[in-house]
């Protein structure tokens, strides 16, 4: 009993009269709102978003939109059910008053809450020199406006496109440029494309795909500056090896930044890899104590994972946002007995240069790789990653139908190298070093990151008993 209420009455009262605020009009924010209503929450629901648009789908921005197949403003996410909410779009959250349960917005408005979901996601890392980044023809790709601007620039048939960075987004944009028949240069300061996410063995294959498609791939070189003409249009790029390149369009594909600055001073475990939470999506404070009224979902969340040594897992993938939002919504309107964990097995896909790449698990956690099916030379294969004698991840190139098999092995912590599924095993397939970059070495950040046990700076002081 709690006062005059039993636990069921407490839950019922909150579902009928409680206040929930969602900061982040994102995929995770929308799916959480839908799940809340689906599960019987009838209280007040407020959704805050810094962009003026209703939630939209980001993956098509670097694919179908740039090819001209879909207008950028036609990427709005479908509604799975009606959401009765107070939408506050085009206004950012700038502060959180935890003791008083208040979110402060950029327009001076305060939003009160009983339970808060933080789903603020990430933003594109901008070009490091603001003046150069402001030149016409310099783009990032994260928002509807970004994609619309770049699509228009590509439609004008530039003489050369420069893409700085060769992670998944940069590689997909390079592929689109070649599909459009545009000359494209990719500059990667590390040793090869996709190396941070999939290691050097797969990076070598990805580099071959790029070059065979006609991409001018330059590795081990940084772009140190951009120059424009008298009209403010970008015209040339200057490389660390002393060379220059005439360009009309530059795409900065430099990774992402978690949107957590607005939480400064709130005492939560927020940092460069996001906001730390437990498996139930409840946020940690800076001392590692779990909160019970603040939840996290989507790209901004990082949580310990049982399959990876309980290290904090930070991932930027569509499925993680959807499933995390559903778990967070469930747990916001339940007490302990009705709550469930979010323990996702990371997965993603990417289409580039005629190859469908799919992955499951945390490949970058492994230190060995073995080709288990198909032919690497034909770019049609499956490969597994291992660490300390067990399988931790897998990747397929045009062989995705076998991914569930590898996912089941990862979930069971099966031995590495894994048994082949029955046929198509490469000849003399033996484990080899996966060749992931040293953390001190420049390389693109993987889309899934294991960030260690310490969520952030701690303020607590520990003293032994006298």
Q: How far is CA 451 from CA 254, 284, 322, 408, 413, in A?
A: 19, 15, 22, 24, 21
Q: Choose the weakest-confidence range: 32-36, 119-123, 421-425.
A: 421-425
- For residue 163, pLDDT over 60 is answered with yes
pLDDT band at 189 (very low <50, low <70, confident <90, very high): very high
% of the chain with per-residue pLDDT over 90: 83
pLDDT score at 182: 98
Q: Give the class (CATH, top level) of 354-433.
A: alpha beta
On the question of a common fold for 7-61+75-121+259-338 and 354-433, the answer reads: no
Mean pLDDT, residues 127-135: 98
pLDDT tens digits for range 216-267: 999 999 999 999 999 999 999 999 999 999 999 999 999 999 999 999 999 9
Statement: residue 457 has pLDDT above 70: no
- At residue 233, φ and ψ (nearest 5 deg) are -100, 135
Q: How confident is the model at residue 442 (pLDDT cuts 50, 70, 90)?
A: low
Q: In sequence order, which residues have a C-beta less than 8 Å from that of residue 96 and are 6 or more positions away?
A: 102, 103, 104, 116, 262, 263, 266, 268
CA distance 194 to 196: 6
Comparing CA positions, the residue from 21, 22, 20, 28 lying closest to residue 300 is: 28
Instruction: Give the range among 18-27, 400-409, 448-457 with minimum mean pLDDT.
Output: 448-457
Interval 48-74 mean pLDDT: 95
421 versus 12: which is more confidently predicted? Answer: 12
Average pLDDT, whole number, for the chain?
92
Is residue 452 predicted with pLDDT exceeding 80?
Answer: no
Query: By C-alpha distance, which of 237, 202, 235 is closest to 218?
Result: 237
Average pLDDT over residues 375-389: 95
| pLDDT for 180 | 98
What's the CATH class of domain 124-256?
Answer: alpha beta
Q: Is the pLDDT of residue 449 over 70?
A: no
At residue 10, the pLDDT reads 86
Give the right CATH number for 7-61+75-121+259-338 from 3.40.30.10, 3.20.20.140, 3.50.50.60, 3.40.50.2300: 3.50.50.60
Q: How many CA atoms lie within 13 A of 63 on its CB side?
A: 13
d(CA 331, CA 292): 10
Burial 149-167 (b: 16+ CB within 10 A, else e): bbbebbeeebebbbbbbbb
Q: What is the pLDDT of residue 443?
A: 58
Domain ranges of the chain: 7-61+75-121+259-338, 124-256, 354-433
Per the model's pLDDT, the better-predicted residue between 306 and 147 turns out to be 147
The model's pTM is 0.92
pLDDT in tens, 97-115: 999 999 999 999 999 999 9
Q: Give the pLDDT of residue 451.
A: 64
pLDDT tens readout for residues 194-215? 999 999 999 999 999 999 999 9
């Amino acid at each position: 009993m709690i006062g005059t209420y039993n636990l069921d009455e407490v839950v019922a009262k909150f579902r009928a009269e409680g206040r929930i605020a969602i900061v982040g009009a994102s995929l995770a924010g929308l799916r959480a709102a839908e799940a809340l209503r689906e599960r019987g929450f009838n209280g007040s629901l407020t959704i805050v978003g810094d962009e003026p648009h209703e939630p939209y789908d980001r993956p098509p921005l670097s694919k179908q939109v740039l090819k001209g197949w879909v207008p950028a403003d036609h990427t709005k996410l479908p509604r799975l059910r009606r959401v009765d909410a107070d939408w506050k779009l085009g206004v950012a959250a700038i502060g959180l008053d935890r003791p008083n349960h208040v979110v402060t917005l950029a327009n001076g408005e305060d939003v009160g809450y009983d339970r808060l979901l933080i789903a603020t996601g990430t933003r594109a890392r901008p070009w490091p020199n603001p003046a150069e980044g402001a030149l016409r023809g310099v783009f990032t790709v994260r928002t509807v406006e970004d994609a619309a601007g770049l699509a228009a620039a590509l439609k004008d048939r530039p003489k050369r496109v420069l893409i700085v960075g060769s992670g998944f987004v940069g590689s997909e944009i390079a592929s689109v440029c070649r599909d459009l028949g545009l000359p494209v240069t990719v500059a990667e300061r590390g040793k090869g494309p996709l190396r941070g996410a999939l290691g050097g063995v797969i990076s070598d294959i990805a580099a071959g795909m790029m070059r065979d498609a006609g991409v001018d791939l330059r590795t081990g070189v940084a772009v140190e500056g951009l120059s424009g003409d008298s009209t403010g249009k970008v015209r040339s790029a200057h490389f660390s090896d002393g060379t220059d390149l005439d360009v009309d369009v530059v795409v900065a594909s430099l990774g992402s930044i978690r949107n957590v600055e607005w939480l400064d001073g709130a005492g939560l475990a927020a940092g460069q890899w996001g906001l730390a939470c437990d498996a139930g999506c409840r946020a940690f404070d800076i001392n590692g104590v779990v909160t019970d009224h603040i939840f996290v979902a989507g790209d901004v969340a990082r949580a310990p994972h049982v399959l990876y040594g309980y290290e904090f897992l930070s991932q930027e993938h569509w499925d993680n946002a959807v499933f995390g939002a559903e778990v967070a919504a469930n747990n916001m309107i339940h007490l302990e007995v009705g709550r469930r964990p979010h323990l996702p097995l990371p997965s993603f896909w990417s289409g580039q240069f005629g190859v469908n790449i799919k992955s499951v698990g945390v490949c970058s956690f492994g230190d060995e790789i073995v080709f288990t099916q198909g032919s690497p030379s034909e770019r049609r294969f499956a490969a597994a990653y291992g660490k300390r004698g067990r399988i931790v991840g897998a990747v397929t190139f045009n062989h995705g139908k076998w991914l569930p098999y590898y996912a089941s092995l990862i979930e069971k912590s099966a031995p590495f190298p894994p048994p082949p599924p029955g046929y198509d095993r490469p000849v003399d397939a033996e484990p080899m070093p996966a060749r992931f970059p040293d953390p001190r070495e420049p390389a693109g950040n993987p889309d899934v990151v294991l960030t260690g046990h310490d969520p952030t700076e701690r303020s607590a002081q520990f003293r032994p008993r006298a």
